[in-house]
Amino acid sequence: MAEDDPSTLKRSHAVLSWGEGGPVSDLSGDVYFSAENGLEETRSVFLQGAGFPERFQDDLTIVGELGFGTGLNFLALTQLFLAHAKSTARLHFVTVEGWPMRREDASRALAAFPELQALALPLLANWPSPHKGPHRIMLAGGRVVLTVFHDESEAALANMEFKADAWFLDGFSPAKNPDMWTAGLFSHLARLSKPGAPAATFTVAGFVRRGLAEAGFAVEKRPGFGRKRERLEAIFNGPPNMVPPSGFARIKPASGEVAIVGGGIAAACLVEAFRRRGRTPTVFADGGWACGASGAPLGLLTPRLEAADRPHNRALLAAFDYALTLYRDRGWLDAGGVLRCADNPNGQARLQGLAERLDDRFEWLETDQASNRLGTQSQAGLWMGPAGSFTPAEIVTGLVEGLRPVDAKIDRIAKSDEGWHLQSGARSFGPFATLILAGGYPSSSLGPVALEATAGQVACFETPTRLKAAAAWGGYAAPYGAGRVLIGATHIKGDRPAVPQTGEADLRQLAQSAPVDLAVGTRREIWGGVRAAVADRLPLCGLTPDETFHAHWRSTAKRGGLADGTELGLSGPILLTAFGARGFAHAPLLAEEIVSALTGEPSALQRDSLQVLHPARIAWRNLKRGA
């Protein structure tokens, strides 16, 4: 099979031929489903083979799959789940696809199954981009969660965090796709399986039977479907896999009351994720919702763009796609596209390179094309088709749907055997089983990780320029009603925005530096806020180190090996902060990750992505340097 280009940020799309029975992979020569009846094959081999619908007994069912393909197995299982599971139950489906289908190809393939169309249409509307790594999609009002990993199977499984109730092993046949059925695959399946979890597959190849058996599965041949004489059913009977201790441990599941400190986008996203699962946290917001850095009059939703395929880049591209879907589906995003222009002499070549590495929603525009899109003279640049503008307060208040926070500035926190206690002046609150600090810079004094403050301002100016879309270059300009433009944003170290007169002068200078022909007149509004960040400019998402962290992990950080005990030194509060200027792009998925962990659900991110975003990374670097 041909190799995917490791220099790109996306997986190559599947190349297909079409026969009477449906799509055929040109890479493997194998079919995606039986020409006799693909849906009945799915029901026989995978659904019945793994014990569904009888397995839908618990509040949460987690199914893993190899070979997402058209999504047929997922849709058939979802149909069964919605028909047989109790109304409060949830289904998580975690799947791997090495060669993602294009949306139009999936639509054509699924058109063969009319009874699934009501479920297929929302899936197709949110079809994942081909970017490498995980993509999380919510369906059926959040009761059904799909996480698609675009990667090679063994690499994807090595980066997963969950315990499956069942497995569908549905990659192309081992004879035609040996790259998927690697020796290391089966040990990962065992690591990610609950005791008693079944694994169903169409193949009876000896290599697969032996691999499953060696990994702890009891394997039996069963009658096959259609012309296929046999298939396999396997049950995981191996010992539970012990997770080694880690200084970057994922949050453990926890019940009980949850306290969130913050009133901006991070706190609002946490509220939305909790309430989707039937839990309502207590929120402490000094000044109410949409305060602080989330209170600007207009924002741009754009991805953080880097050329390298690295764990943090996979996570943040996935976060952008998740936020895009969330805001677009609720009518909160004006997705008119944004032109990204170079802000330094080397920037143009970098942006052109990104246009080649990203998916086809991103394209390089020459000067004439860029000027056409913006409606005014412009430099060439990268057109970010899915990007757009939004009103921050509309998103924040829409996510919380009327939940009223406690209007209090929390100035002290403490942990006892009963839980977390919060103090606001003479007022006390608690205990809470879980505490999440999501208040940006104003709540930075409560956590053990120091945050950097950067003040900034945006302003609305009258303009004769008829800007049709937003442009970004280091600053940004966005249409803001008839005859007006929003210019932003300044970046000044410190926690105090400039006075309006100074800020206006800085913003006018920013407009003059724009790579587009932009005239600004009278200033109408000006707004200032403070962003929070850390030195590596990545968000903080996860548990925080406590006073014992250094003692437990010093030798491990310097020389390797493991500390004594399990997940030691991570008993501080949970952090969701340090988003800089990209809270609206990154907070929704990272909030989903935190709440997924607390409710015992599969991770929304890769394990190595969790590590590079983990609050302990800063303490770990200090340990490695000997600090």
Close Cβ partners of 526 (under 8 Å, ≥ 6 residues apart):
457, 458, 459, 460, 500, 503, 504, 507
Report residue 49 CA to chain centroid gap.
31
pLDDT tens digits, 515-570? 999 999 999 999 999 999 999 999 999 999 998 998 888 888 887 766 666 668 89
Token representation of residue 392: 């921050």
* pLDDT confidence of residue 243: 75
The Cα-based distances of 386 to 39, 129, 315, 334 in angstroms read 34, 11, 17, 10
Share of the chain above pLDDT 90, in %: 81
Residue 1 contacts residue 29 (beta carbons within 8 Å): no
pLDDT tens digits, 308-335? 999 999 999 999 999 999 999 999 999 9
Q: With the C-alpha atoms ordered 588, 593, 596, 602, is the resulting torsion angle positive or negative?
A: positive
Pick the range with the lowest mean pLDDT from 148-162, 371-385, 549-563.
549-563
Residue 399 contacts residue 269 (beta carbons within 8 Å): yes
- Is the pLDDT assigned to residue 19 strictly greater than 90? no
Close Cβ partners of 426 (under 8 Å, ≥ 6 residues apart):
none
pLDDT tens digits, 583-617? 999 999 999 999 999 999 999 999 999 999 999 99
Strand order in the sheet with 419-424: 412-416, 419-424, 427-432
Strand 133-139 to 434-437 pairing: unpaired
Helix H, strand E, coil C: the string for 5-59 is CCCCCECCCCCEEEECCEEEECCCCCECCCCCCHHHHHHHHHHHCCCCCCCCCCC
Average pLDDT for residues 39-45, to the nearest whole number? 94
Token representation of residue 126: 């949110």
* pLDDT confidence of residue 563: 65
Q: What is the DSSP letter of 291?
A: -
Residue 565 contacts residue 571 (beta carbons within 8 Å): no
Token representation of residue 365: 């525009």
User: Is residue 118 exposed (0-12), middle (13-18) or buried (19+ Cβ within 10 Å)?
Assistant: exposed
Identity of the amino acid at 239: P
User: Is residue 346 exposed (0-12), middle (13-18) or buried (19+ Cβ within 10 Å)?
Assistant: exposed
pLDDT tens digits, 407-441? 999 999 999 999 999 999 999 999 999 999 999 99
Nearest to 319 by CA among 40, 17, 604: 604
Residue 371 contacts residue 387 (beta carbons within 8 Å): no
Domains, the chain? 16-236 (3.40.50.150), 258-292+394-450+536-624 (3.50.50.60), 338-385+452-533 (3.30.9.10)
User: Is residue 60 exposed (0-12), middle (13-18) or buried (19+ Cβ within 10 Å)?
Assistant: middle
- Is the pLDDT assigned to residue 1 strictly greater than 60? no
Average pLDDT for residues 112-119, to the nearest whole number? 96
Residue 348 contacts residue 339 (beta carbons within 8 Å): no
d(CA 220, CA 213): 10
Close Cβ partners of 155 (under 8 Å, ≥ 6 residues apart):
none
Residue 311 contacts residue 608 (beta carbons within 8 Å): yes
- Is the pLDDT assigned to residue 3 strictly greater than 60? no
Give me the chain's average pLDDT, please.
Answer: 93
